[in-house]
Amino acid sequence: MKLDVNALRYLSKDDFRVLTAVEMGMRNHEIVPAELIGRIASLKHGGTYKVLKNLLKHKLVHHDSSKYDGFRLTYLGYDFLAIKTLVNRGVFASVGRQIGVGKESDIFEVATEDGTVLAMKLHRLGRVSFRAVKSKRDYLRHRRSFNWLYLSRLAALKEFAFMKALEEHGFPVPNAVDCNRHCVIMSLVQGYPLVQVKELPNPDTIFETIIGLVVRLAEHGLIHCDFNEFNIMIDDDEKVTMIDFPQMVSVSHRNAQMYFDRDVECIFKFFRKRFHLSFDEKEAECDDSDVELDGSCRPQFSDINKVSGVLDKELEASGFTRKDQEDMEKFVDGDVEEDLGSDSGEDEDEDEDDTAGQINDATLNGLESLSLTREEEGDSDNNQNNMHQHTCNEASQSEDRQVEHDDNSDDPELEKRLSKQRQRAIQAARGRRKAITSRNSYKDKGGRSSQNSKIQKQLGSW
């Protein structure tokens, strides 16, 4: 849908109040009932329907009466809410022409009051060209139900967070200014997409710079996952700038190596085809020699030094979450304490270094298998813990009764009851306790006599 901001100046406070009410109602409703919109907006009697009619005329809401009478926000209405909020904040004062369009976003020029030109990116997930968002992105995580407006908001928040963090660490990215709903405001890059560049004075230098960015991202714990000629900007001074970050993942992702190799292959393929650079001879020389990799050779994911990989932890990138990291650290610390506690006091000083080395190697090599085993055996561990607790309770009761038995050893009836209780405790510990039958065991839920009860009646009559 084309963004026409001319209607924005004619909308009143009641119009934006009703738009906000529809947005709030869409948290729990796919189609918001008209009565609920009126209660949330709290306008005068009859005023809500008049405002909704005006919003329908400008295509800011959509009316749906297939199941019940209700309304939902359109992308244009969501755009107006975001733009109105950012204008009230003083981020920008005017909206200009459209400068870019992609499969999941539109980019416009905006200007501040002092004339500074910025870029406004509006995420528009759900287009026909890109609808496999649930399988291609992890915005939803554990959620099942979703709508496209909510997914666009998650994508904008994620991109703003990545852009802000990369800028703080010195990466060549646009300056992140502000974010609201599905709208991200950033500085305007004075350059051209690399896909539009036909000639370069120094293609080898640009190629090494771009490959160095891929490796540097991996060293900080992140993989771009869409690092190609469409998401690389270059200006007249051959300065390279990265854009488009919502799909970035952590180096701990299970498919991290595949994404890293794909980004590298995209750069190699583009420079080989567009600027006729040959890498086969250089890659062969690198394979034959034992020197470290430089910019002219194809970098390998296994050779990346991930010492400074902290951005994926800070931003909780896909494939890495704080909860998983905490569980993993607790699991490793527990194993280390058990292994250290099992050593004797005499050998502790002598074998301290060897034991620590064995523990670190064993834990690092078996983290994946241990975590899988822990998930699969979760149910069995719970059952064993319940049985162990029950056995301890029975054992403590039997010990108390044993003390009474020592005091009253001459009583045969008491001794007989104690022996029965011991047998019950043993059967409970072994899982052989008989089910207690009730007097209604032959009656089903409907109150009718079952087949067993009929047989019992026949036997009683005989």
> From edge to edge, which strands make up the β-sheet containing 32-33?
32-33, 70-73, 61-64
pLDDT score at 207? 95
Q: Are 298 and 207 in contact (CB under 8 A)?
A: no
Amino acid found at 121: K
Determine the average pLDDT of the residues in 202-212: 94
Residue 109 CA to residue 119 CA, distance in Å, equals 5
Four-way CATH pick for 190-339: 3.40.190.10, 1.10.10.60, 1.10.510.10, 3.40.50.2000:
1.10.510.10
How confident is the model over 117-167, as pLDDT tens digits?
Answer: 999 999 988 765 444 555 555 554 555 556 788 888 988 999 999 999 999
- Per domain, the residue ranges of the chain are 5-86, 90-188, 190-339
Which pLDDT score, from 0 to 100, does residue 239 have? 94
Type and span of the H or E element at 61? strand 61-64
Cβ atoms of residues 244 and 156 within 8 Å? no
CA end-to-end span of the chain, whole Å?
85
3-state secondary structure of 94: strand
Using alpha carbons, select from 172, 77, 182 the residue that is nearest to residue 125.
182
- Give the C-alpha separation, 207 to 194, whole Å: 11
Strand, helix or coil for residue 111: strand
Quick one: tokens of 372? Answer: 């899988």
Instruction: Tell me the longest C-alpha to C-alpha distance in the chain.
Output: 109
Q: Are the CB atoms for 235 and 288 separated by under 8 Å?
A: no
Architecture of domain 5-86: Orthogonal Bundle (1.10)
Instruction: Inform me whether the pLDDT recorded for 336 exceeds 60.
Output: no
Q: Which residues contact 418 (CB under 8 A, 6 or more apart)?
A: 401, 402, 404, 405
Tell me if 268 sits within 8 A of 262, measured CB to CB. no
Q: Are 34 and 70 in contact (CB under 8 A)?
A: yes
C-alpha 290/C-alpha 169 separation (Å) is 32
- Lowest mean pLDDT of 154-163, 271-280, 385-394, name the range: 385-394
Tens-place pLDDT, residues 365-383: 443 433 333 444 444 455 4
> pLDDT > 70: what percent of the chain?
62
CATH topology match: 90-188 vs 190-339: no
Tell me the mean pLDDT in the region 400-419: 62
* pLDDT given at position 346: 43
Q: What is the mean pLDDT of residues 104-113?
A: 93
Q: Among the options 14, 64, 178, 226, which is catalytic?
A: 226
By C-alpha distance, which of 210, 180, 360 is closest to 271?
Answer: 210
More confident residue, 191 or 342: 191
Q: pLDDT value at position 188? A: 95
Domain 90-188 in CATH 3.30.200.20? The answer is: yes
Compute φ and ψ for 277, nearest 5 degrees. -85, 140
Q: Which of 48, 45, 68 is nearest to 56 (CA)?
A: 48
Q: Which two tokens stand for residue 299?
A: 């970098």
Res 180: pLDDT? 95
Q: Is residue 45 pLDDT above 80, yes or no?
A: no
| Per-residue pLDDT, 454 | 57
**Strand 94-101 and strand 70-73: pairing?**
unpaired
Residue 446: phi and psi, rounded to 5, are -80, -5
Residue 400 designated active-site: no
Q: Which two tokens stand for residue 326?
A: 């905490």
- Please give the pLDDT value at position 323: 52
